[in-house]
Amino acid sequence: MKTVIIVSDFSRESFQVAEKIVSNSTEPLRVLFTHLFHIADDIQDLLFSNYRKKEYEFVSESFYQACELLKSDFPDILKSVEVEFFYGSRLALFKNFLDYNRADFIAFSESYGIPKLAKSSIDALPVIRKAGIPLINTDKILSPEFIDSNNER
């Protein structure tokens, strides 16, 4: 089973990244939606904040329902869908996050990008490009380049 990380803003557009990946996969997948946040620098923010709980408010019930529907549409392919937030400001920490989650790929849509959810959101595209694992730009999935590169594997 492969793990695909989707850096997301939990919108319909970011869900479509998962739809494209799942509908074009021939092997079982685990999808992990994430969003990248800076960790607070202020010690008071760290001690007295419940920021790790409030980020889940960005994920709507309809987003979770769409994920469940996708699982039911592709039961042999989509084995699990999870939401986990990344907190940090260093590439090494993000690489540890990817290792911990056994990420095989990071999927995104270059045309949509990865909009920020809050002022503490990190500009994710430069980070994922430096992460050192294969990237899948879902805008190119149906292009001949993508099909040819997958046939070579």
Q: What is the mean pLDDT of residues 117-146?
A: 83
Could you give the angle at which helices 12-23 and 61-73 cross, rounded to 10 degrees?
10
Q: Which residue type is seen at 120?
A: S
CA angle 89, 94, 99 (to 5 degrees): 160
What is residue 143's predicted lDDT score, i.e. its pLDDT?
A: 46
Q: Model pTM? A: 0.84
Query: Tens digits of per-residue pLDDT, 35-53?
Result: 998 876 555 555 555 555 6
Fold adopted by 2-151 = Rossmann fold (3.40.50)
Token couple for 117: 């959810």
Q: What is the mean pLDDT of residues 48-76?
A: 82
Distances (CA, A) of 149 to 26, 43, 152, 153: 15, 48, 5, 7
What is residue 43's predicted lDDT score, i.e. its pLDDT?
A: 54
Are 116 and 15 a contacting pair, CB within 8 Å? Answer: no
Q: What is the mean pLDDT of residues 92-114?
A: 93
- Domain extent listing, the chain: 2-151
